[in-house]
């Protein structure tokens, strides 16, 4: 393989081969719980689907626009993220990968994102921003997956990747529950997510363009 071939196969800076970098993956509690899931024979795909259930419960709780409902929604968002953590750990570290794993790794995430972000928009009386956040969240994933399909690895850079979107939404729910100003904080969270996700689409696309240009450079 020539040096030019090697460069053409290099992933975009900030990209990884397949897995999102998650610090919690290496912690003792996560490894212990993942081990329990492996021994229980629960499949990674079932854990992925469970994330949709938690997101749906969180969306319903958010729509109550009641402080208790908003706190419950924040907890469900975190439960959804734990599913995203453990499905990969059970699949990879637990040796339970399947031929359909790549589908279950992506599709439930898109559904869960949309449920939570659109519900947040209606909960705070700003449905347009909810739909906008959901759209840009899906586009960030599309750019990442498209880049990977070209052999560039998965680019998980932010500033508003999935974990960042869910952190902002969680904080918005909790603060809205503690400071119940109509629309207010939850609406601001959605605006931040929408703009940040749009910027993320730009940063990932720019990195992909740079790599593709390197491939065709003489």
Number of other CB atoms surrounding residue 147 within 10 Å: 22
* Burial group, residue 127, by CB count within 10 angstroms (0-12, 13-18, 19+): middle
**How many Cβ atoms from other residues are within 10 Å of residue 192's Cβ?**
20
Q: How far apart are CA 29 and CA 26, in angstroms?
A: 9
Give the pLDDT of residue 8: 32
Give pLDDT, residue 128: 97
Provide the pLDDT for residue 218.
Answer: 66
Mean pLDDT split into 10-residue runs, the chain, 218 residues: 33 51 80 89 92 98 95 98 92 80 89 97 95 97 90 86 96 91 85 97 92 78
Predicted structure pTM score = 0.86
**Domains of the chain in sequence order:** 3-216 (1.20.120.1760)
In whole angstroms, give the CA distance from residue 176 to residue 182.
8
Q: Provide the pLDDT for residue 183.
A: 59
6-42 residue pLDDT tens? 333 344 444 445 677 777 787 888 889 888 998 898 8
CA pair distance 144, 155, nearest whole angstrom:
5
Q: What is the CA radius of gyration of the chain?
A: 19
* CA distances to 9, 16, 40, 152, 166 from 148, in Å: 11, 9, 32, 5, 23
pLDDT at residue 11, as a whole number: 41
pLDDT recorded at residue 59: 98
């Amino acid at each position: 393989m020539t040096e030019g071939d090697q460069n053409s196969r290099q992933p975009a800076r900030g990209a990884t081969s397949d897995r999102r970098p998650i610090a919690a993956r290496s912690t003792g509690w996560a490894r212990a719980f993942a081990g329990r899931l492996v021994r229980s024979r629960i499949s990674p795909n079932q854990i992925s689907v469970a994330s949709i259930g938690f997101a749906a419960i969180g969306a319903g709780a958010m729509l109550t626009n009641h402080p208790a409902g908003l706190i419950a929604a924040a907890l469900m968002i975190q439960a959804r993220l734990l599913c995203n953590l453990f499905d990969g750990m059970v699949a990879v570290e637990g040796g339970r990968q399947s031929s359909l794993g790549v589908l279950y790794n992506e599709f439930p995430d898109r559904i869960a994102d949309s449920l939570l972000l659109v519900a947040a928009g209606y909960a705070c009386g700003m449905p347009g921003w909810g739909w906008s956040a959901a759209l840009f969240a899906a586009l960030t994933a599309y750019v990442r997956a498209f880049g990977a399909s070209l052999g560039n690895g998965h680019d998980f850079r932010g500033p508003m990747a999935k974990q960042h979107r869910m952190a902002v939404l969680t904080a918005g729910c909790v603060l809205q529950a503690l400071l119940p100003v109509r629309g207010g904080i939850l609406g601001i969270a959605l605006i931040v997510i929408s703009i940040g996700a749009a910027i993320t689409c730009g940063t990932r696309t720019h990195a992909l363009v740079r790599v593709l240009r390197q491939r065709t450079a003489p």
